[in-house]
Amino acid sequence: MFTNGNKGHSKSGVDFLDQSFINNPFPVYKELRNEDPVHRFPLPSGHFAWMITRYEDAVEIFQDKRFVTNPPFMGNVEGAAPPHQEIISRNLLSVNPEDHRRLRRLIQKAFTPRMIERLRGRIVEISDELLDKVLASGKRELDLIADYAFPLPIMVICEMLGVPLEDQDKFQEWSNTIMEGFNNPHMNEKSDEVMKAFVDYLHVLITERRQHLQEDLISDLISVEEEGDVLSEQELYALVFVLIIAGHETTVNLIGNGMLVLLDNPEQKQLLLNDPELIHPALEEILRYNGPAEVSNIRWATEDVEYGGKHIRQGDMLFVSFSSANRDPQQFPEPDMFDITRKVNNHIAFGKGIHFCLGAPLARLEGEIAIHALLRKMPDIRLNTTEESLEWRQGMIIRGLKDFPVSF
């Protein structure tokens, strides 16, 4: 088993934090789907978890009530409590069905598809401003992550929320550090410090908005009510956290991964240049082929379960690999081929079921606009280094590049 040459494999399971795996996980996932689709592997804590790699199993796990995101025994499971539990315990990614339906019902009153679509013009403006700044400098190169993919979504979400322009740099720094903490266990201590600063800032901002509502999303979330029910203070903090951290990081890596795939497949890039209307199926194929989220958030077994020929014990952790499920040949013909004209593309890059990403419409809109703007303004864009020298971010959750030097 595991004959592809990647390091980090042992009888105890794949090391999903090994850099050689992170650089190219797809051969390992292929072997896991074929040989050990419900795979037990070690965590840095010394405990073990399960990785689900087939599409059909992934969809079943998302809908199976025996696997939950916030079990009642969370505090009693040795090594189970994730970092930053206090702030994230009431967010949409981690609450269970009853609470999730309640929160989603309230949030959708403010976070509507019509509101997202109204942002289209502003997202186009921000994309153009960022690229025009590079063009005006006279340089013929940029770091696609630092100069474009990173600032664009943080500017959009901060404007939506009503975060003052002068504070947006703080949010960029906080977002990056907090996500590194989730993605890399060695960053937890620094991430905890930043989380405290983040929560302190939100306390001041939300207090101000309660006193003086404005035309922004935080004011809308404070105001939402359904049959006498409102968001609590902690729920507000947790939601803003998810919007800024999870939503922002998803879009950064959607743009970065998407452009890398297009540069790796010049004939597909040319197809898109020739027919910009293909941006919609192109983005869905990017999400399937090399999406921004490597795995789902943790699920926990609430009872002993026999699944896929394995005995999963109560309290065991499970992850679903989006990257693997979206390359399952049982669901996608020729899954390792990048094809922006793919007709049927039921990928699960944004999850499935009740935990389907609320921010998916915004991420899709930003991704389409950002990639279209790049190809429109810089049609000759190309990688400005060797692909082997690109460094992928450490960790299991997010799949994205640290930097991405290009020329045009």
- Sheet with 299-301, strands from edge to edge, namely 38-42, 48-52, 317-320, 299-301, 67-68
Helices (H), 354-398: 360-377
> What is the average per-residue pLDDT within 272-282?
97
DSSP-assigned letter for residue 21: H
pLDDT value of residue 390:
97
- Token match 């990017």: residue? 286
Percent of the chain with pLDDT over 70: 84
pLDDT value of residue 5:
39
Closest to 273 (Cα-Cα) out of 184, 372, 172, 136 = 372
- Token match 């929560």: residue? 199
pLDDT value of residue 213:
93
Q: Is the pTM of the predicted complex or chain greater than 0.85?
A: yes
> What is the average per-residue pLDDT within 114-133?
92
Residue 4 has pLDDT above 50, yes or no: no
Span 167-181, pLDDT tens digits: 888 877 887 777 776
**In angstroms, rounded to a whole number, what is the distance separating the alpha carbons of residues 227 and 230?**
9
pLDDT value of residue 92:
53
Instruction: Kindly list the distances between the CA atom of residue 265 and the CA atoms of 28, 258, 282, 315, 342, in Å, as whole numbers in the listed order.
Output: 22, 11, 12, 43, 15
Helices (H), 109-187: 113-118, 120-136, 151-161, 168-183
Give backbone dihedrals phi and psi of 40, rounded to 5 degrees, phi first: -90, 130
pLDDT value of residue 292:
95
Span 308-327, pLDDT tens digits: 999 999 999 999 999 999 99
Sequence spans of domains, the chain: 9-407
pLDDT value of residue 78:
42
**Protein fold of 9-407:** Cytochrome p450 (1.10.630)
Average pLDDT, the chain: 86
Span 52-70, pLDDT tens digits: 999 999 999 999 999 988 7
Span 67-97, pLDDT tens digits: 988 766 554 444 444 434 455 555 555 555 6
Residue 354 has pLDDT above 80, yes or no: no
DSSP-assigned letter for residue 339: -
pLDDT greater at residue 70 or residue 345: 345
With left for phi above 0 and alpha for psi between -120 and 50, is residue 17 left, alpha or beta?
A: alpha
